[in-house]
Structure 1
Amino acid sequence: MIRFLLVLVIVMHTGFSYGQDLMNNNPAKKEYEYFLDFFTSRNTQDHKNALKYIDNNWSEHFEILAIESLYFLRSPSTSLKLLNILQKKTRKQYPRDFDKWYEYIWNKEPSYLHSYYTFKAILHKAIDSRFDTYFLDRDNQSTIRLDEVRWGGVVQDGIPPLRNPKMIKANEANYLNDTDIVFGIAVNGDTRAYPKRILAWHEMFTDQVGNVPVAGVYCTLCGTVILYKTEKNGKKYDLGTSGFLYRSNKLMYDQETQSLWNTLWGKPVIGPLVGKGIELEYLSVVTTTWKAWKKLHPETTVLSIKTGHTRDYGTGVAYQDYFSTDELMFTVPTNDTRLPNKQEILAVRLPSETDKNIAISSKFLKKNIIYQNTIANKNFTVFTDSSGAHRVYFTQNIRFISYSNTIAIDANGGTWKLNEDGMMNTLTKDILKRLPTHNAFWFGYKAAFPEVILIK
């Protein structure tokens, strides 16, 4: 079906005159159009002419065009001939192992031309008519390598975000088990829980929480849930799921400009919003169990299982195979083996103040339930409870010696109560502010932040 759509839509989009002009190697023809010939024509002679041109005029910038063409080609004979050209020219023997081909491309300097943006737009428009807006005429509006942007297998919002979803009281959530993982948030006293078993099917929710417009973005592939304020400098951005990935991390899009946004950076990376100084503020997300969250927050609301979509929201159903192994669905440029790919880390960063970035192994934190460090010359402390949930606070020069449940004791005997906004000294009423953090899989976070400092 995809191949049929590619043929139909690309022909309509390009408006080429085929037949004799093509067979005569029309000098006005652009190089990338020879690769599109595999989809826009069912004439085997056209394919032969295209293969001959590609072979005789090979250049390094053809590599990514050949790889992406092979990904969608369903003609065994044409695929084999194009693959043979690719292998001969690159001296690499990866057959149809696309992860290997992409790793080869990504681990050298980019060689594609500006016309690659047009090629990518036309090629993917056949899948979703909105896809071409991501790439067409964007060659001067990009901060990431375009050859690292891969289609994730769905159309725009094909994994449907939950927009203003129904929330219910904790005692009404009969579908939840105490051991179910939830992502807990608190904004201006509005406390909510989003079960992993539901959010994994939707990967995003948008809502007003505590009278603040937010988007909770769940990249299932890289194990990251980040809560963003979607209003910046008086402008609200309506975000969705683009259908594309960058280093195995989902790319968001905004509805107004169709710019692509990096989920972990909170910034537009391709499109009209690039270079506008836009970076969304993120808030804390606590990964914990339903039992632990509702015990701390009996007033919490929780996502209703009545989402308006038909899904099997059973525990562990979504992405069951993916979560059960350390294998990746989409490769990244390099693998850092200091931790298993999908081992969870806690991400600690202050992008508005420093480029320093710290990833702390969750396994390490479970053994060190009080952990202190410094970022941007500010001391912070990570407290990890029995459910494995991490909460981080700016703790100035205060050293803590014990922690249990929601109570921490400092070296001077002071007692502090931890909550989602900050921690308060029960005697002096002094307050220490929260440092926003979230969890992630090690491989995905390292791919997004190659210079990250790992603590394990």
Structure 2
Amino acid sequence: MHVRNVLPRDAIPSVDEPTYEPVADYSGDPDDEVVVVDGDPARAYPVRYLHYHEIVNAADAAGTPVAVTWCPLCGSAVVYERTVPVDGDTRTLTFGVSGKLADDDLVMYDRETDSEWKQSRGVAIDGPLAGTELTVRPAAMTTVGCFREANPDGEVLAAPGGESEAASEDDTPEPIDYDAAPYERYFDMDGFGLAAHRGTGDERDWDRDDLAPKTVVLGLTDGDAALGFPLPRVEAAGSVVHASVGDRDVVVFATPDGIHAFENPGFAFERTAEPGTFVADGARWDGATGESDDGRGLDRLPSRRLFAFAWQDDHGADAFYENE
């Protein structure tokens, strides 16, 4: 793992006092991507805001402290609990953007112990809490339109405002324009990592041809077991994959809004003619929400949504689901 300084600490400001608005009041495009934390109400965090902040120190609807984290270079969306065991006690951490990258991934730091954390892994890589691992929360990446349809009473993060280095041409933070798209060119290009984003000509190599480096992957872990599900492979399998990760039986759905994973109670799901819906156990199921037309629901699994190169950096070249 290669760690390097890229920006001054907090040049990209975390959101520490988030406020929310009803999803019906969201003024952006219904196709805007959001990271969703379930609850009553469910809350959505627009990626167009996260580009400029990368971390939101929040709480879910039940009051549990969580960190909604996003690394644009890695396409990595992960929600973590912010409580960790320290010396036999439980401590709540608040995270900021360190200005460092570890293998092109955001390095977070916590303001309580000054430990540093690799965002995609949720593991402290330096400082007093080195080796401590954050708990991953179930979360989904979808669109505002899909979130609104599934959660008409849901809430959306209000635009935090302020200044960010992501809005600047250099390391000096500038006022944020959330209608800008600072990573659009990066997402469209073949290259990956900081060098590709900055166009410095020293891009990393990618030595496999079965997956593009920025293929969207949904990563699941269970203890020491880790398996990443590339979206194109799930789509090629009929948009539904039944698998095991460690001791856990899982089902992974590809839907028009993305990729979703749930604990499988033992059902054999089959795709229907309607995209994003599946049948099993005498019911029709929505692959994005895990809800059935007879009132049942699947348990969404803790997961990481990220690019293939970042998953491979963390878990190795063999930690991907292979089509049978």
Aligned to 1:318: 182
> Which has the higher relative contact order, 1 or 2, with Cα contacts under 8 A spaced 6 or more apart?
2
**Residue 287 in structure 1 maps to residue 176 in structure 2:** no
CA gap 1:306/1:267 in 2 versus in 1, 3 angstroms:
closer
Residue 332 of structure 1 deviates from its aligned partner by 5.4
Task: State the alpha-carbon separation in 2 of the partners of residues 296 and 302 from structure 1.
Answer: 13
Matched residue type, 1:453:
F
Structure number with bigger Rg: 1
Aligned to 2:227: 358
DSSP-derived class of the 2:149 partner: helix
Residue 365 of structure 1 deviates from its aligned partner by 2.5
- Residue 11 of structure 2, aligned match among 132, 138, 158: 158
DSSP-derived class of the 2:42 partner: strand
What fraction of aligned residue pairs are identical, expressed as a percent?
24
Aligned to 1:238: 94
Matched residue type, 2:182:
A
- Residue 218 of structure 2, aligned match among 346, 358, 363: 346
Task: State the alpha-carbon separation in 1 of the partners of residues 259 and 212 from structure 2.
Answer: 20
Cα RMSD (Å): 2.5
Residue 248 of structure 1 deviates from its aligned partner by 0.7
**Residue 207 in structure 1 maps to residue 58 in structure 2:** yes
Task: State the alpha-carbon separation in 1 of the partners of residues 133 and 207 from structure 2.
Answer: 27
Aligned to 2:322: 455
Aligned to 2:264: 395
Gapped regions of structure 1 (runs ≥ 5): 1-144
**Residue 258 in structure 1 maps to residue 114 in structure 2:** yes
Contact 2:41 2:153 in 1 (8 A): no
Aligned to 2:171: none
- Residue 42 of structure 2, aligned match among 183, 188, 191: 191
Matched residue type, 2:115:
S
Residue 172 of structure 1 deviates from its aligned partner by 1.4
Aligned to 1:182: 34
CA gap 1:205/1:372 in 2 versus in 1, 3 angstroms:
same
**Residue 222 in structure 1 maps to residue 74 in structure 2:** yes
Structure in which a larger fraction of residues adopt strand: 2
Contact 1:358 1:455 in 2 (8 A): no
Gapped regions of structure 2 (runs ≥ 5): 164-174, 196-202
Task: State the alpha-carbon separation in 1 of the partners of residues 43 and 276 from structure 2.
Answer: 18
- Residue 445 of structure 1, aligned match among 287, 304, 311: 311
Structure in which a larger fraction of residues adopt helix: 1
Matched residue type, 2:189:
T
Residue 177 of structure 1 deviates from its aligned partner by 0.9
Residue 385 of structure 1 deviates from its aligned partner by 2.1
Matched residue type, 1:344:
V
Task: State the alpha-carbon separation in 2 of the partners of residues 181 and 416 from structure 1.
Answer: 22
- Residue 256 of structure 2, aligned match among 376, 386, 392: 386
TM-score (normalizing by structure 2): 0.82
Residue correspondence of structure 1 range 62-77 to structure 2 within 5 A: none
Residue 442 of structure 1 deviates from its aligned partner by 0.9
CA gap 1:345/1:192 in 2 versus in 1, 3 angstroms:
same
TM-score (normalizing by structure 1): 0.60
Contact 1:359 1:455 in 2 (8 A): no
Residue 222 of structure 1 deviates from its aligned partner by 0.5
CA gap 1:165/1:405 in 2 versus in 1, 3 angstroms:
farther
